[in-house]
Amino acid sequence: MADPAYIVDGVLTDGEAWVGIATTTVDPAAAVVTFTSTDDGQVGDFSQYMDLKVVYYVRHTEAATWAQIIMHLNGDSGANMYIGQELRGNGSNVAASTPSLKTGGGMWYIPSANATANVFGCATVDIFDINSGKYTSFMTLPAGDGGTENWTALLADTYKSQAPVSSVDFTAIDGNFAVGSMFSLFGVLPRMVTA
Please write the tens of the pLDDT for every residue from 140-182. 999 988 877 888 999 999 999 999 999 999 999 999 999 999 9
Kindly state whether residue 79 falls inside one of the protein's structural domains.
Answer: yes
Kindly state whether residue 83 falls inside one of the protein's structural domains.
Answer: yes
Kindly state whether residue 3 falls inside one of the protein's structural domains.
Answer: no
Please report, for residues 4, 15, 190, the alpha-carbon distance to residue 10 in angstroms, rounded to integers and kept in the order given: 10, 14, 18
Kindly state whether residue 47 falls inside one of the protein's structural domains.
Answer: yes
Closest to 105 measured CA to CA, from 131, 135, 128, 137:
137
Kindly state whether residue 34 falls inside one of the protein's structural domains.
Answer: no
- Predicted local confidence at residue 1, as pLDDT: 47
Count of the separate structural domains present in the chain: 1
Task: Quote the pTM value.
Answer: 0.88
pLDDT-derived band at 47 (thresholds 50, 70, 90) equals very high
Residue 55 to residue 63: CA distance in whole angstroms: 25
Kindly state whether residue 12 falls inside one of the protein's structural domains.
Answer: no
